[in-house]
Amino acid sequence: MTRRAGSRASTNDLTVPDGSARSPAFEVRGLTRTYGTGDVAVRALRDVSFEVDYGDVVCIMGKSGSGKSTLLRLLGLLDTPTSGMVLLNGIDVTRLRESRRRVLRLGRLGYVFQEYALLPELTAEENVYLPSLMSGCPLRESRLRARQLLAMLDLENRARHRPSELSGGQQQRVAIARAMVNEPAVLFADEPTGNLDTESSEMVMTALSQMNAELGVTILFVSHDPDDRRYAKNLIVLRDGEMVEDAS
């Protein structure tokens, strides 16, 4: 992870990153997020700046209320900053129309949440390939990709099981496979082991490391657990919405 400045391009030149570009995966400049106004205003994030290179694995840590999830939501285009910029391939994506942000979220950004967010009526395989269908990929190709990902994560024998028939660790690995089905350039994971025991947590973090090593996806994950630092190549520490440490 570096702090160098990148050139800014016109939104007309926007190309979705494929992991091979020389520019950073993300350039974050002066990012601030304030909720509310006046005397009740809360600054959840304060003037945060950094860069993340392609292929990096970054752990975002800090106490509850430090701004970790807020930062992840802004980077993942799930929220918009009060001020500052998030540049993707040199383009400030925070200024794009919501329709364009939606395309980026579906096609080139992947998400893993603490609560798994699997659809209970669908099998593991169906949960995984659903985003692929939504992006317009044919069913046959979507199913093949889902099966390949489930096999990578040692879940091929659970493909036809519904979430209620899976352990928490298995559900989270299904969620990782779902996040990877559209071959994202960047994967965001918000407390991916927050609901899991130690053994399941290690399996999930190993799965994320595998996605990075074998598929080259850039990963940013939020964690409270100091042990999770060993799975990261770089570290961001937040305190009261400010970046107080980054390791490179």
* pLDDT tens, residue by residue, 94-144: 889 999 999 999 888 999 998 899 999 999 999 999 999 999 999 999 999
pLDDT in tens, 164-223: 999 999 999 999 999 999 999 999 999 999 889 999 999 999 999 999 999 999 999 999
* Helix, strand or coil, per DSSP, at residue 90: coil
Closest CA to 143 of 151, 51, 12: 151
Contact 53, 1 (CB under 8 A): yes
Specify burial of residue 15 (Cβ count, 10 A radius: 0-12, 13-18, 19+): exposed
Q: What is the DSSP letter of 25?
A: S
Measure CA of the first residue to CA of the last residue in the chain; give whole Å. 6
Measured in whole angstroms, the distance separating CA 93 from the mean position of its chain's CA atoms is 16
Helix (H) or strand (E) holding 208: helix 198-215
Strand duo 186-190 + 26-35: pairing: unpaired
* Helix, strand or coil, per DSSP, at residue 236: strand
Q: Which residue did the predictor score with more confidence, 55 or 23?
A: 55
In whole angstroms, what is the distance from residue 14 CA to residue 48 CA? Answer: 24
Residue 37 banded pLDDT, cuts 50, 70, 90: confident
pLDDT surpasses 50 at 92: yes
Question: Phi and psi for 23 in degrees, rounded to 5?
Answer: -70, 160
pLDDT surpasses 80 at 11: no
